[in-house]
Amino acid sequence: MRIPQSEKELTFWERIYFPEVFRGLAITAKHFVVNMIRHTLRLLGFKNVPKGAVTYQYPEEIRPISTRLRTMHRLARRADGSPRCVACMMCETVCPASCIYIVAGEHPDPNIEKVPIRFDIDLGKCIFCGYCVEACPEDAIRMDTGIYNFAAYTREGMVLTLEELLAHEPAPYVSVPTQDKAPDPGPLAKSQPVSAPASA
């Protein structure tokens, strides 16, 4: 029977650890030297030399992202700035990570039944599945901010509040539908990916 790679016994040289450390260092040094030589030669005008490896100089240079990438949530607003959300709890119900918490209140407009008075999303638990966006009957929650580089020092710091969700803006490449008009997939599909915001 063929033993899977992960279950293979380590050799004597692997078990004493240091030869493997030096082997790894040698591989890294080899790549460094080769790429440095290639970059230098191309800089000196030798254009037939293969290009050296390049990397994004993060965080100064942000990697372009797909327009379809699910990024940090936001809550869409009505024309008067109030949440479009009607606190139907569909997103909270469908969320597989149970990381949405909504408290509903009465809306001052009798034509709108409810409005969220509290809307929390715990990003520490969120798995970015997008089910909340799919389930929303009002197109009120979206994951199109382009923000993916967020962090916090505490678990509480990972919780997005109603105010924060309403303050988020869509990423520049996103085609935002009006309240009466469905999203037009044409320009969105054709648009080129752009850099995400530098900070959350």
Interacting span for ligand SF4 (CB under 6 A) from 24-32, 35-43, 90-98, 154-162: 90-98
Regarding 76 and contact with ligand SF4 (CB under 6 A), the answer is: no
Among 41, 49, 65, 97, binds ligand SF4 (CB under 6 A): 97
Q: Which two tokens stand for residue 14?
A: 């692997």
Regarding 165 and contact with ligand SF4 (CB under 6 A), the answer is: no
Regarding 196 and contact with ligand SF4 (CB under 6 A), the answer is: no
Of the candidates 185, 168, 178, 95, the one whose C-alpha atom is nearest the C-alpha of residue 135 is: 95
How many residues in the shown chain lie near ligand SF4 by CB under 6 A? 26
Regarding 166 and contact with ligand SF4 (CB under 6 A), the answer is: no
Interacting span for ligand SF4 (CB under 6 A) from 50-58, 85-93, 160-168, 177-185: 85-93
H helix intervals, 105-161: 131-135
Interacting span for ligand SF4 (CB under 6 A) from 24-32, 51-59, 130-138, 160-168: 130-138
Residues 1-30 that bind ligand SF4 (CB under 6 A): none
Distance CA 132, CA 160 (A): 15
Among 71, 72, 74, 86, binds ligand SF4 (CB under 6 A): 86
Asked whether the beta carbons of 37 and 51 are under 8 A apart, the reply is no
Among 140, 160, 165, 196, binds ligand SF4 (CB under 6 A): 140
Regarding 148 and contact with ligand SF4 (CB under 6 A), the answer is: no
Regarding 188 and contact with ligand SF4 (CB under 6 A), the answer is: no
Regarding 72 and contact with ligand SF4 (CB under 6 A), the answer is: no
For residue 50, report the phi and psi dihedrals to the nearest 5 degrees: -55, 150
CA dist 197 to 65, 111, 121, 148, 160, Å?
Answer: 11, 37, 20, 9, 18
Please give the single-letter amino acid code of residue 141. Answer: I
Q: Quote the distance between the C-alpha of residue 36 and its chain's center.
A: 32
Distance CA 95, CA 89 (A): 10
Q: Which two tokens stand for residue 69?
A: 């990438």
- By the criterion CB under 6 A, which residues form the site for ligand SF4? 85-91, 95-97, 99-100, 102, 121, 126-132, 135-136, 138, 140-141
